[in-house]
Amino acid sequence: MDSNNSLNALAADKPYLFWGKTTDVAGTRSRIIWRFFEMLAGLLSFGTLILLTIFSFLLPAAVAVFVIIFDVLWLMRALSLSLHLIVSYRKVRKFLKIDWLNKLETVKEFSSEIELTSWKDIWHLIILPMYKEPKEIIEETFRALAKSNYPHERLLVVVATEARGGEDIETMAKNIADKYRNDFAEILVTSHPANIPGEIAGKGSNEAWAAKEATKLLVQTRGINPKHVMVSSFDIDTRVYPQYFSCLTYTFLNSEDPLRTSYQPIPLYNNNIWEAPMFSRLVATGNTIWQLIQQVRPEQMETFSSHSMNLDSLIKIGFWNTKVVSEDSLIFYQAFLAFEGNYKVKPLFYPVSLDANIGENLISTIGNVYRQQRRWAYGAEKIPYLFYGFLRTKKISLRKKLFHLWVILDGFWSWACSALIIFAFGWLPTTVGGEEFKSTVLAANLPYVTSFLLSIAMFGIGVNALVSFLLLPPRPKHVSYLALFSFVLQWAFLPIIIIIFGSIPALDAQLRLLFGRYMGFWVTPKGVTQKQGRGRETV
């Protein structure tokens, strides 16, 4: 399979799959449509908050009723999500105890579309994009890969460097590759050229380049069927657990439509969780909790951070979009549109471990966490991509289109607005609503009603706290027992944290899209602190 021919044909048939922002769009009418949908998240979020603020002065009773109804719905949703979380956690514990390599030996029948006679013919292409991360981070990632129980002669690792990172980085990557070369079928070091016209400097363009280079080696040189290759796109700090590739292979071989499926592990931030400041831990833990919940709602899942998919599908959709910031989640929608709705994400219920965000000091950590959350929230750039794609793709059912549009709009609106509505607008009408409203029974009871509802919601927070505590790796020797107290105390600061590192960066990202001030890819610093106890592999 010639990946370049496949890419050119797809770009000619569906050019919008490779657009990222309005300036990429061809045609005046299409640019207007794309620009409107680009603004949509910001219009909805800022429109909601501005109207609630205005009506708190003019129609405080209406705002009070709205807040109470919203709190009730949010409470019901929180309790439902807590049940999802419990179910997901139990599955993770179960999956970690399974001998996946042994289960692979029981697989004797294979889907005809895979064209396979033995599971041992499944290759794993592992792409590790990097920029200027320290040697220790990369070494720890390789040590984890080397502990994999999947046959190492079927593991091909690509260290994807950036030319703009400098020659020293590429030299370091090659030295590490030489050190571990005997542990894998092959280690390939690629260098993504700087300043390629039309690309943004970021993870997506780097891993797309690396995947194309690896495809030449596997498919064109070695003659391996791309249907027999699973591609895992990892962050450079991703540590796999020993049975990850065995679990992935088994899940792939037993999926209903294996080639048209992405496979999503659960991101744990256990590499340095004991060293992270309280707010950084809480943000990282919140992301893990959300991904756990999504695992039992596969119809709403999209790919995130570290994920896996089949090389045959990756080639057919033209590899990762090189013009977007949120390439990790957009790759799902790219495949969904390319295959006209015949694509899904399947949960693995199996974890990988990453770094929580830590800076050189407290101030830099605050900045790093904020920038990382803003970059993730900039995933709202997927909204015009999906809306426009649905307008151009007629074969996807209206029901599917409406469902995915609702999920993505609700997700980004809730990210920006929910915490502010719950924790800010519960008191604003009684403060600015005037003396007439303040004298009403509704005004007198509004704080008590919202407080009562939030107290019930503490059950959900308690479940989150318990699960996060159960997911912790063993306490390193250099960490005091008092740290355990801070892991409990941190949940008391949840309302403040989700506003500062949730709503505000989400509004920041949406405001940039609203006014066309496009973001580039911000690389999260890795391995700022290196202490004993990093990289533990227990859950």
Query: Measured over all CA atoms, what is the biggest interatomic distance in the chain, rounded to whole angstroms?
Result: 80
Element (H, E) at 353: strand 344-353
Query: DSSP states of 107-128 as a string?
Result: -----TTT--S-GGG-EEEEEE
For residue 11, what pLDDT is reported? 67
pLDDT range class, residue 535, cuts 50, 70, 90: very low
Both tokens of 107, joined, read: 């697989």
Judge whether residue 531 has pLDDT over 50: no
| Amino acid, res. 532 | Q
Q: For 460-513, what is each residue's pLDDT tens digit?
A: 899 999 999 999 999 888 888 888 888 888 998 999 999 999 999 999 999 999
| Amino acid, res. 127 | I
Q: Report the alpha-carbon distance of residue 103 to residue 87 in Å, rounded.
A: 23
Q: For 110-130, what is each residue's pLDDT tens digit?
A: 988 998 999 999 999 999 999
Which residues span the domain enclosing 160? 1-539
Please, are residues 309 and 399 in contact by the beta-carbon 8 Å criterion?
no
Please, are residues 283 and 355 in contact by the beta-carbon 8 Å criterion?
no
Both tokens of 400, joined, read: 């599917």
For residue 538, what pLDDT is reported? 41
- With a pLDDT cut of 90, the percent of the chain lying above it is 81
Kindly tell me the burial class for residue 446, based on how many C-beta atoms sit within 10 Å of its own C-beta (0-12, 13-18, 19 or more): buried
| Total number of domains constituting the chain | 1
Go through 6-36 and write b for each residue having 16 or more CB atoms within 10 A of its CB, e for each that does not.
Answer: ebeebeeebebbbbbbbebbeeeebbebbbe
Please, are residues 338 and 14 in contact by the beta-carbon 8 Å criterion?
yes
Judge whether residue 533 has pLDDT over 80: no
Across the beta sheet with 123-129, the strand order is: 186-192, 155-162, 123-129, 229-233, 307-310, 261-268, 344-353, 239-240
For residue 537, what pLDDT is reported? 40
Query: What average pLDDT does the segment 415-431 reach?
Result: 92
DSSP, collapsed to helix, strand or coil, labels residue 327 as helix
For residue 112, what pLDDT is reported? 87
Judge whether residue 4 has pLDDT over 70: no
Output the domain CATH number for residue 178. Answer: 3.90.550.10
pLDDT range class, residue 427, cuts 50, 70, 90: confident
Judge whether residue 368 has pLDDT over 90: yes
Please, are residues 334 and 326 in contact by the beta-carbon 8 Å criterion?
no
Predicted model pTM: 0.93
Judge whether residue 8 has pLDDT over 90: no
Q: Report the alpha-carbon distance of residue 93 to residue 350 in Å, rounded.
A: 9
For residue 526, what pLDDT is reported? 76
Q: Report the alpha-carbon distance of residue 403 to residue 214 in Å, rounded.
A: 36
Judge whether residue 528 has pLDDT over 80: no
pLDDT range class, residue 5, cuts 50, 70, 90: low
DSSP, collapsed to helix, strand or coil, labels residue 161 as strand
Contacts 24+ apart (CB under 8 A), 250-255: 250/100, 250/103, 250/104, 250/107, 250/119, 251/346, 251/348, 252/122, 252/310, 253/104, 253/107, 253/110, 253/111, 253/114, 253/116, 253/119, 253/122, 254/107, 255/346
For residue 479, what pLDDT is reported? 85
Both tokens of 529, joined, read: 């602190």
DSSP, collapsed to helix, strand or coil, labels residue 197 as coil
Query: What average pLDDT does the segment 60-83 reach?
Result: 94
Q: Report the alpha-carbon distance of residue 349 to residue 354 in Å, rounded.
A: 16
Q: Report the alpha-carbon distance of residue 126 to residue 145 in Å, rounded.
A: 9
| Amino acid, res. 360 | E
For residue 266, what pLDDT is reported? 98
- With a pLDDT cut of 70, the percent of the chain lying above it is 96
Judge whether residue 279 has pLDDT over 70: yes
pLDDT range class, residue 1, cuts 50, 70, 90: low
- Compute and round to an integer the Cα radius of gyration of the chain: 24
Query: What average pLDDT does the segment 233-248 reach?
Result: 97
Angle between helix 398-423 and 382-392 (nearest 10): 160
Lowest mean pLDDT among 219-228, 273-282, 428-437, 495-504: 428-437
Q: Report the alpha-carbon distance of residue 173 to residue 190 in Å, rounded.
A: 9
Q: For 151-168, what is each residue's pLDDT tens digit?
A: 999 999 999 999 999 999
For residue 3, what pLDDT is reported? 61
List all residues 6 or more positions away from 316 whose beta carbon is below 8 Å from its beta carbon: 6, 10, 338, 339
Query: DSSP states of 230-285 as a string?
Result: EEEE--TT-EE-TTHHHHHHHHHHTSSSGGGEEEEEEEE--SSTTTS-HHHHHHHH
Both tokens of 149, joined, read: 């129980």
For residue 149, what pLDDT is reported? 96
The label of the residue with tokens 């690792």 reads 157
Average pLDDT, the chain: 92
